[in-house]
Amino acid sequence: MLSRTLRSGAALTELGFGAAQLGNLYRPTGDDEARAAVDAAWAAGIRYFDTAPHYGLGLSERRLGEALRDRPRDEFVLSTKVGRLLVPSGSPEGTMDDGGFAVPATLRREWDLSRDGIRRSVDESLERLGLDRIDIAYLHDPDDHGSQAHAEAIPALIELRDEGVVGAIGAGMNQSAMPTEFVRRHDVDLIMLAGRYTLLEQGALDDLLPLALERGVGIVAAAVYNSGLLSKPRPAADATYDYGPAPADVLARANAIADVCEEFGLSLPDAAVAFPLRHPAVVSVVVGMRTADQVASTADRYRAEIPEEFWRALSRRGLVRDA
């Protein structure tokens, strides 16, 4: 599998393993199933793995760390996220998490973007992972905390990078405007952009991507299926988009793209995985994977051969803005 190198020197495989499902996203995942998914990813050549404390109240970090612990440490890149600490919840026994993960609510997420909070988050992630270092630390979804993110959190991450505690730093968000300001105002290495540069929408071409390219900041494209809308060859009538029902115009656009895919004998998910990697600022596409079978199918999508004429056809019909 091909890799692309950050200015920090870390080489990310073009396909990355998103580990939210290892934290029981939406439904339980067994320990053996989670381990088999990571093993399959390794066998497929994937060497970039992304997790977060938010995913299953630490469960994803624990499972991913255990699955990678015996792998040669210099052969993979690991990212996790900061900004929300996990603290005792005080919830009655049997209460389940209300953050989208099927785990007991013995802990709760507490926002802390202070310097001490960022450093504590990294320390606690290292403990859960059981690994010797974190290669990339992202500030996680600070949408409602912009002032503190600029004033404290990003400088704290830069300090940790300068100390060698983490290898590279950035932010992971579902919007492009605030990450653009991080790139403009701070010395960040990369941005994980979820859902805003995909086969379906390319709004980040107006702000983040040109600036990232100019500054040498890598972009990791996540949520490339736009919450499932592009995950099947033909979108279902009740498909979701941005974690809710897909609007009629969005569904029509996805179907129009699927029409072109069928004309070229391609599948919509194949094109969805391939599209972000066409931009020179994008260093990896991270896809959430729960099982070994999902890993195998995603790796097949990554390896699909897509002719240049297909992209030109989409552009001519006004279905994509191709950079």
Tokens of 123: 């320390």
The rounded Cα 217 to chain-centroid distance in angstroms is: 16
Q: Output the CA–CA distances (angstroms, integers) from residue 119 to 122, 123, 175, in the order listed.
A: 5, 6, 25
Which one is catalytic: 26, 48, 55, 241? 55
DSSP 135: E
Single-letter amino acid, residue 189: D
Residues comprising the chain, all counted: 323
Our answer to whether residue 302 is catalytic in this structure is no
Instruction: Retrieve residue 191's tokens.
Output: 């941005």
- Could you tell me if 70 and 76 are in contact, meaning their C-beta atoms sit under 8 angstroms apart? no
Q: In 10 A of CB 312, how many CB atoms?
A: 11
Residue 110: Cβ within 10 Å count: 11
d(CA 143, CA 176): 11
Count of other CB atoms within 10 angstroms of residue 307: 11
Which residues are 241's β-sheet partners? 244
Residue type, 59: L
Sign of the torsion formed by the C-alpha atoms of 229, 59, 161 and 70 = negative
Q: What is the DSSP letter of 53?
A: T
Tokens of residue 208, six digits: 């983040």
Q: C-alpha 64: how far from its chain's center?
A: 15
What is the C-alpha to C-alpha distance for residues 281 and 289, in angstroms, rounded to an integer?
Answer: 24
At 245, list the tokens.
């029902």
Structure tokens at 124: 């606690």
Q: Which residues belong to the active site?
A: 55
